[in-house]
Structure 1
Amino acid sequence: MSPEETGRLSAADRREQILTAASVVFGERGYAGGTTDAIAQQAGVSQAYVVRMFGGKEKLFRASAERAADKVIEAFRGAIAEFNANDDVHEKTLKLAIAYTHLVADRGILLTLLHLFSLGHDESFGPLARSCFLSTYTIVREEAGLTPEEASAFFARGMLTTTLLAMRMPDAADDPTAAELMQCTFGETSTDLITLSQGQSPLDDSGR
């Protein structure tokens, strides 16, 4: 019996451990560059165990992407639960944005989603990318109660936020132009996002 099988973690906990590692590796390297070996090393288990649990890289990437999308949905639903009856659109979208701010402290989640969206042309991953995004949009429309126009504006700013974080724009916070752009984009979450993002490196040098 392998060391990972004799450990104290349950199968569900071990699965989450591997998916967390996959988020880091796929986030850093993308689907093409990520390998089950690198994910196994990141998770501290054997490659054979990873393959046995997920059945190969494609299924592992799919599970990692679904996990990332589920995290966004979970964060948004948590924010929606904090809505008050008299909240206006600004207050609702601010609560959603703050929830997203805390979520993307895990850079692997952010980058895994971006890699998924970049595979929209792929026969296997394209439908998943569209489904994940539309599920999130539906929650913002139906559960948060935003109009189509309000939801579109919210996601437009969210995608710009995601792009700026992916390119590590907070690392250039001392540049007045970068600071201006981030302040206009991040708004009331600007300081938190810059603090959470600066210095993040999801995959250590030995795993790059």
Structure 2
Amino acid sequence: MARMSAEERRESVIRAATSEFARTGYHGTSTEAIAKRVGVSQPYLFRLFPGKKAIFLAAAERCMADFAQMFAEAAERAEGEAAQKAMGDAYVKVIAEQPERLMMQLQTYVAVAAAEAEGDRELGEAVRAGWARVWDAAHLLLGADPSETTDFMGHGMLINCLVAMGFPVEHRVWQGLYPPA
């Protein structure tokens, strides 16, 4: 079997870190757990990333980029309301079928709040920039005005809460949102 390149190893670290951070959050995840999941030593992990925060930032940035890409793919052949429905349906489907992706997103917000409460703004600045890129991607794909894009993203945040709380899509609280296709 061929050895993985450093870039392939970085990718495996980001995937493993996403799983670990999604499950136990920033403070609850050890770099030892990430290294073990990837099958590397901690010293090797720190040759790929300078520290735990850098690993978390890479996972958070990947999370946001993946959602922006998912929106783009969903809206590829649609415009206006059809694009909005396709993007909403794709989002609900992804977070329902891959709850780890939702949990990573939610853990990212928790980590930002905790870091900023401790006076560390670096994490928040990076996550806000990533979230703004997701908003910009949705805005362009929807061809909407800023208010409509904000409504769309707000619906997404409500969907996050409903899925995180375990509401089945048949429940009345989902009325008017984007049920899966």
Q: Same fold (TM over 0.5)?
A: yes
2:132 maps to amino acid:
L
Is 1:67 the equivalent of 2:62? yes
Matched residue, 2:165: 167
Aligned pair count reads: 174
Q: Which deviates further from its counterpart, 33-42 or 159-168?
A: 159-168
> Higher RCO, 1 or 2 (CA under 8 Å, sep at least 6)?
2
Matched residue, 1:198: none
1:108 maps to amino acid:
E
Q: 19, 22, 32: which one pairs with 1:24?
A: 19
Matched residue, 1:103: 94
Q: 105, 108, 119: which one pairs with 1:113?
A: 105
Structure 2 residue runs of 5 or longer lacking an equivalent are none
Alpha-carbon distance between aligned partners in 2 of 1:25 and 1:163, rounded to the nearest angstrom: 20
CA contact (8 A) 2:92 2:179 kept: no
With over 3 angstroms needed to count, the CA separation of the structure-2 counterparts of 1:152 and 1:18, relative to structure 1, is same
Alpha-carbon distance between aligned partners in 2 of 1:76 and 1:88, rounded to the nearest angstrom: 13
Q: Which deviates further from its counterpart, 161-170 or 133-142?
A: 161-170
TM-score of the superposition, structure 2-length normalised?
0.84
Counterparts of 1:141-180 in structure 2, within 5 Å, are: 141-170=139-168, 179-180=171-172
With over 3 angstroms needed to count, the CA separation of the structure-2 counterparts of 1:164 and 1:142, relative to structure 1, is same
1:103 Cα deviation after fit: 3.2
1:17 Cα deviation after fit: 1.3
CA contact (8 A) 1:116 1:125 kept: no
1:44 Cα deviation after fit: 2.6
1:69 Cα deviation after fit: 0.6
Q: 118, 126, 129: which one pairs with 1:128?
A: 126
2:54 maps to amino acid:
K
Structure 1 residue runs of 5 or longer lacking an equivalent are 1-5, 193-208
Q: 26, 35, 43: which one pairs with 2:30?
A: 35
Sequence identity (%): 29
1:50 Cα deviation after fit: 1.5
1:186 Cα deviation after fit: 4.5
